Amino acid sequence: MAHPKHKTSKQRRNKRRTHYKAVAPTLAACSNCGTATKYHHVCPECGYYRGKLAVEKEVVA
């Protein structure tokens, strides 16, 4: 294995991590109820995915 000859400073180490940018997830409108949901995810409000019921939601009385 390679062994470093010199200590890598904190500044040099942290420079490698500057290219990452946090990106907000892309949202789409649910085809059933219209709420904003993530792409390729079941709607948290109604439980539908691609126009079909995927998760049965309990009705709170």
Q: What confidence tens digit (pLDDT) does each residue in 4-47 have?
A: 899 999 999 888 888 878 888 899 999 999 999 999 999 999 99
Tell whether 18 is covered by a domain.
Answer: no
Cα(61)–Cα(23) distance, integer angstroms: 38
Tell whether 52 is covered by a domain.
Answer: yes
CB burial of 37-60 (b: ≥16 within 10 Å; e: otherwise) equals beeeebbeebbbbeeeeeeeeeee
Confidence (pTM):
0.57
Residue type, 27: L
Structural domain containing residue 34: 25-61
Tell whether 10 is covered by a domain.
Answer: no
Please count the structural domains in the chain. Answer: 1
pLDDT value for 17: 82
Tell whether 57 is covered by a domain.
Answer: yes
pLDDT value for 2: 84
